[in-house]
Every structure is written in structure tokens, then in C-alpha cells.
């Protein structure tokens, strides 16, 4: 049965990577994963927003990509060293902080793709998203961290969709190279989507064979981070189901060409 997360739109899906920060917004100092960035993605017509989860020193799950504040705010401290109040102050002129709970409650029509970035965030993320599980997909580079978040959500009565971690992707690439449908099936057990780069270093990840193998087992392929319009069109032509992009506004126009 298809998870409700996938029923919001048809393909190709456009996943607004950390919200939407247009060049004009960037000149105003708006940061990725801010309240303003999520609001801009929503205003542009995005249905799906990809974001990241860390936890503050006082246990609040916030949307933030890096483990420390250096790149976004210039503060060298780690997320685990600042309170949510301190982070709100630091983000006040950068589009505003948004917590996980605020994202889910303020934007009830958005479907979210949350990447659990820290081990300490896994359980609270799962508990918070459980009541909203129909519109949440959980992922992490760490399959163990992804599993912990899913376990917490299920224990709280929710069942989010999920995409594979890096170890699962590696197993799948081997299975596809060996043309072993048995190994492909095993790698994809319990997985709803594959969210991958087109290439990882010198290794091609996304290929027609890779996409076909996933589709054969009713698993979608979403490619990150695709910002060039020509690349968007080319990947849609290969058959990928979703584009994770910093330019959701552009990708939505291109996706509309295919509808």
C-alpha cells in the first residue's frame, strides 16, 4: 500500500531543499531552514519541504542542517551548546528560527522530509512527528539513526514513510551491479524511497538500471541537490520521481511542463 506521503501530488515531486531562499531573499540575509524559507517554499506552491533536525541544549528539536552555528550565524558553538531561546535570538534577522513542532503545526498542508542529523534527535523527532505521520518521511545518512526515529514514531502511534540510509544504498548499488533481484528486494525491504545524489565521488548512483530496479519494487527515486534546469529535465527524462532542489520555484515550473 502506498504511504499517504506520496499521495499529495503526482511525479515528478519537487522537494524544497531546506525551504526556499531565492537570490533576492539571500541578499536580505534569509537563511536556509528558517521560518521564512519554509514559508517561501509554501508560498511558491511547494507541497514537499526537505529539512534537517538537530536538538538544542534544552531538548528542543529545531530545523537546522549543521551541527554547529558557524556557517549560518557566525557563532562557533554547537547546537547542543545553545538553548532554543539563544538560537531564536541568533536567527531573528536571518528569517527566524523554526522548530520541528512549529513546522508541522504552522504548515498543515505541507508534507515534510526530515533528515535526522544527530543521534540525540532521533527519539524526540519520532515522538513529535507521530501524530503527523501521514505527511512525514523520515531519513538519515545513518540507517541506525533512521531506525531509532522510526521506532520512536511507531511507539507513539505513527508510521511515517522512510528513505534509505547510506549503508542500504551501498548494498543496493552492489545488488543492481550484480543484476540480482533477490538482493535488490532484500536491500529495499521496509524502504519507501531512495534519496541519492546523481553521483557520489566518481561513482554513478542514478542510472536507468538503478531507477528501474527501484520502481520494480515500488520504491521511488529522489535526486539531490538539483538546481540546474537542464539537469532537472534530464533526470525527469531518466524517470526519477523527485527532485530535491534549492530552487523549488524553478523546479515547480519544469515539473508543470510534464503534467
The domains of the chain, with CATH numbers, are 4-251 (3.20.20.190)
Residue 190: left if φ>0, alpha if ψ -120 to 50, beta else—which one? left
Condensed to tens digits (0 to 9), the pLDDT of residues 68-113 reads 999 999 999 999 999 999 999 999 999 999 999 999 999 999 999 9
Condensed to tens digits (0 to 9), the pLDDT of residues 220-249 reads 999 999 999 999 999 999 999 999 999 999
129, 153 contact by CB (below 8 A): yes
Q: From CA 8, how far away is CA 108, in angstroms rounded?
A: 12
Q: From CA 67, how far away is CA 187, in angstroms rounded?
A: 29
Cell 527515486, residue located: 221
Condensed to tens digits (0 to 9), the pLDDT of residues 14-64 reads 999 999 999 999 999 999 999 999 999 999 999 999 999 999 999 999 999
What is the pTM assigned to this prediction? 0.97
For 129-157, letters b (16+ CB in 10 Å) and e give: bbebbebbbbbbebbebbbbbbebbeeee
Mean pLDDT of all residues in the chain? Answer: 97
Amino acid at each position: 500500500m502506498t504511504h499517504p506521503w506520496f499521495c499529495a501530488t503526482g511525479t515528478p515531486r519537487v522537494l524544497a531543499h531546506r525551504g526556499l531562499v531565492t537570490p533576492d531573499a539571500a541578499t536580505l540575509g534569509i537563511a536556509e531552514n528558517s521560518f521564512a524559507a519554509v514559508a517561501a517554499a509554501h508560498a511558491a506552491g511547494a507541497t514537499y519541504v526537505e529539512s534537517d533536525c538537530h536538538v538544542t541544549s534544552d531538548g528542543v528539536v529545531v530545523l537546522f542542517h549543521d551541527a554547529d552555528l558557524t556557517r549560518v550565524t557566525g557563532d562557533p558553538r554547537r547546537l547542543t551548546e545553545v538553548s532554543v531561546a539563544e538560537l531564536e535570538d541568533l536567527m531573528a534577522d536571518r528569517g527566524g528560527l523554526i522548530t520541528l513542532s512549529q513546522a508541522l503545526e504552522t504548515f498543515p498542508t505541507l508534507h515534510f522530509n526530515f533528515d535526522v542529523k544527530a543521534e540525540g534527535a532521533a527519539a524526540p523527532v519520532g515522538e513529535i512527528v507521530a501524530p503527523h505521520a501521514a505527511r512525514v518521511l523520515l531519513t538519515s545518512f545513518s540507517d541506525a539513526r533512521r531506525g531509532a526515529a522510526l521506532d520512536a514514531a511507531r511507539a507513539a502511534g505513527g508510521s511515517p514513510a522512510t528513505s534509505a540510509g547510506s549503508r542500504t544504498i551501498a548494498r543496493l548499488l552492489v545488488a543492481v551491479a550484480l543484476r540480482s533481484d533477490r538482493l535488490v528486494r532484500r536491500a529495499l525491504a521496509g524502504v519507501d524511497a531512495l534519496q541519492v545524489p546523481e553521483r557520489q565521488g566518481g561513482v554513478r548512483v542514478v542510472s536507468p538500471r538503478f531507477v528501474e530496479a527501484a520502481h520494480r519494487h515500488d520504491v521511488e527515486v529522489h535526486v539531490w541537490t538539483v538546481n540546474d534546469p537542464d539537469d532537472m529535465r534530464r533526470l525527469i527524462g531518466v524517470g526519477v520521481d523527485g527532485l530535491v532542489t534549492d530552487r523549488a520555484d524553478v523546479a515547480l515550473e519544469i515539473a508543470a511542463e510534464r503534467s
